[in-house]
Amino acid sequence: MATEPKNYVDYETALKHFDVVFGIEVHIELSTKTKLFCSAPNAFGAEPNTLISPVSLGLPGALPVLNEKAVEYAIKLGLALNAKINKKSYFARKNYYYPDLTKNYQTSQSDEPTIGEGHLDLQISDTEMFRIDIERAHLEEDAGKNTHVGGAEGRIFGAQYSLVDYNRAGVPLIEIVTKPVFGAGENAPEIIAKYVRELRDIARTLEISDARMERGNVRADINISLSPKGSGKLGIRSETKNVNSFRSIEAAAHYEIIRHASILLEGETVTQETRHWHEATSSTTSGREKSNADDYRYFPEPNLVPVVISDEWIDQIRAEMPELPAHKRARLTKEWGFSPKDMQDVLNADALALVEMTVTHGTSAHNAKKWWLGELSRIAKEASLSLTDLAITPENVAEIQKLIDDGKVNDKIARKIITDVIAGKGTVAEIVANENLEIVSDDSALKKFVQEALAEQPDVAEKLRNGNMQPIGVIIGIVMKKSQGKADAKKVREIILAEK
């Protein structure tokens, strides 16, 4: 048994010898106002241990009562995943000891989860779809958060002690478990990332989760195993945890495929274990060995009663379902006159919602895309922020684009307004007014600047009069300077031609 190979083969070699089988468990934190089993707030970023009740702290005698909204959210997700909504589902206790678990059992669902089998189709090229079969999705409570103190970079090993914050304890989660996925071939890492992204998008569209990867609202565990090419024999799997970006998900899967293949090609057996992904080194390391000694002693939670979901309840939720991401993408690509690549670029930049909202406020799709994928992406990248974190709204962007369309500001000024809005200097209108940024499109003012410029540059004026238009830029430049950059260059050119 081995956890690390002596040498690593390359990806191509790995795929030449083995078929990749994967499974994904995705935890989505629901954005209910309160926790799954008590009325303590479900919120991010509060002072430690302030969002807790006797129930979420697991105090003796405190009893759980199920949040109806969480069940509703589960049904929504089930419908989006084309899944069977189980008429009757139960909660069970999963017993294990860990300091972040207040009761030393997690209230989860075992044999009879709320959501049964379903599937999700992913578009993997212009013409190809790939189906991920879903085994189940169940409701459960999140645990608290441990901070390990005294070890390197807050990690567990070498830590002297840990500090526990139970604010997250009891936050509702839905865990979506796939069936083993075969046949993805070399695209496996990309498909895994795409699947998680699709779930993220669905969760956002359904408004059941903030679905922010960086906050751990969406967490993916990736199971990888390899089987000798064409053998159909299932290999021993590893489960990689702690992967919290799409890029990392793809990289981790890629890494694990190589690691498995390398071990197997050295004639060794892969150890069944948990792996941890490290962003800094782009590699995984050995975690806890998974053995059959894991005995969670599930039994029905006696303090909760069964959840019974009627057809009427499902129909009511179905009637309120929003348009799902896949359908919306297809529709918008067509409506916006985008090429598949245009759309893919927007998706890769995580900017679909931003572009769409900008379009809603009157900007053309191409211009909206230009701003969000261009200037705004640049600023976000520089500040290490995501686009949604920038202090500028799609409405702001639309407003600025309108100033351009109306000829009131030029591109350069528009960029300045964007920078100022993000810097918190005021609304678009305030910035334009306060700094007197509006283009000088007043003909008489511009005419005056042109006349002055021509007078200052008699040689150039002469050339222009003789029909040599080459040095016209010199005059335009002077006019721009005189107008403090606020002149509309196109207009200036027209005036020069008339006034020369």
Partner 1 sequence: MANNINTNDLTLLTAHEQAELLNAKQVSSTELTGAYLNRIHALDEQVNAYLTVTDDVALKTAKEVDDLRAKGEKLHPLAGVPIAIKDIVVTKGIQTTAASKILEGWIPPYDAHIVTKIKDAKLPILGKTNMDEFAIGSSTEYSGYKITHNPWDLAKVPGGSGGGSAAAIVASLAPLAVGSDTGGSIRQPAALTGTVGVKPTYGGVSRYGAIEMASSLDQLGPCAKTVLDTAYLQGILGGYDAKDSTSLDYDHNRMASAALKGKNQDLHGVKLGIVRELTGEGFADDVQKSFDSAVELLKEMGAEVQTVDCPSFDYSLAAYYILMPSEVSSNLARFDGMRYGLRACGDNLSAEQTMRLTRAKGFGKEVKRRIILGTHALSSGYYDAYYGSAQKVRTLIQRDFTNAFEKVDALISPTAPTTAFKIGEKMTADPVTMYKNDIATIPVNLAGTPAMSLPSGLGADGMPIGFQIMAPGKMDDRLYFVGSALEQALCEKNGALYEKIQFGKQAVNMKTEAK
Partner 2 sequence: MEKAETNFSVQKVKHLADLARIEFSEQELDELTSELNVISDAINKVQEVANDDVERTTHPFALENVFRKDAVGETLEQKSALAAAPKQKDGMFLVPQILAED
Q: In this structure, are residues 80 and 324 in contact, taking their beta carbons and an 8 Å threshold?
A: yes
Residue closer to partner 1 by CB (options 182, 298) is 298
Residues 428-457 touching partner 1, rule: CB under 8 A, are none
Q: If 0-12 CB within 10 Å is exposed, 13-18 middle and 19+ buried, where does residue 6 land?
A: exposed
Q: Which amino acid is at 474?
A: V
CB of 290 to partner 1, least distance (A): 14
Site for partner 2 in 296-315 (CB under 8 A): 297, 300, 302, 304-308
* Whole-angstrom distance, CA of residue 481 vs CA of residue 489: 11
Residue 128 interacts with partner 2 (CB under 8 A)? Answer: no
The listed partner (partner 1, partner 2, none) that binds 308, CB under 5 to 8 Å by sort, is: partner 2
Choose from partner 1, partner 2, none: what does 288 bind? Cβ within 5-8 Å by kind.
Answer: partner 2
Residue 62 binds to partner 1 (criterion: CB under 8 A): yes
Comparison of 59 and 330: residue with beta carbon closer to partner 1: 59
Pick from 230, 367, 239: which is nearest to 294 by CA?
239
Q: Does 107 bind partner 2 (CB under 8 A)?
A: no
Q: With respect to partner 2, which residue has the nearer C-beta, 104 or 434?
A: 104
Contact 350, 387 (CB under 8 A): yes
Amino acid identity, position 112:
E
Using CB under 8 A, which residues numbered 31 to 60 contact partner 1?
54, 57-60
If one asks whether residue 304 binds partner 1 (CB under 8 A), the answer comes out as yes
**Closest-CA residue to 197 (of 266, 290, 124, 106):** 124
Contacts of 104 (CB under 8 A, 6+ apart): 58, 95, 96, 97, 98
Residue 163 interacts, among partner 2, partner 1, none and using kind-specific CB cut-offs from 5 to 8 Å, with: partner 2
> Which range of residues in 8-16, 44-52, 177-185, 320-328 is near partner 2 by CB under 8 A?
44-52
Amino acid occupying residue 454? L
- The answer to whether residue 52 forms part of the interface with partner 2 (CB under 8 A) is yes
User: Pick from 126, 128, 153, 295: which binds partner 1 (CB under 8 A)?
Assistant: 295
407 CB-near residues (< 8 Å, 6+ apart): 439, 441, 488, 491
Residue 453 is inside which H or E element, if any? helix 443-456
**239 - beta bridge partners?**
223, 274
Closest to partner 2 by CB, 148 or 416: 148
Distance (Å, whole) CA 354 – CA 205: 13
Q: How far apart are CA 477 and CA 449, in angstroms?
A: 11
Question: Per-residue x/- mask for partner 2, residues 131 to 170, rule CB under 8 A?
Answer: ------------x--xxx-x-----x--xxxxxxxx----
- Is position 164 an interface residue for partner 1 (rule: CB under 8 A)? yes
Q: Alpha-carbon dihedral of residues 490, 492, 493, 494, nearest 10 degrees?
A: 90
Task: Give the interface with partner 2 as residue ranges (CB under 8 A).
Answer: 32-34, 38-41, 47-54, 57, 65-71, 88, 90, 96-100, 143, 146-148, 150, 156, 159-166, 274, 276, 287-288, 295, 297, 300, 302, 304-308
Binding-site ranges for partner 1 (CB under 8 A): 54, 57-66, 93, 95, 97, 99, 102-105, 160-162, 164, 295, 297-299, 302-305
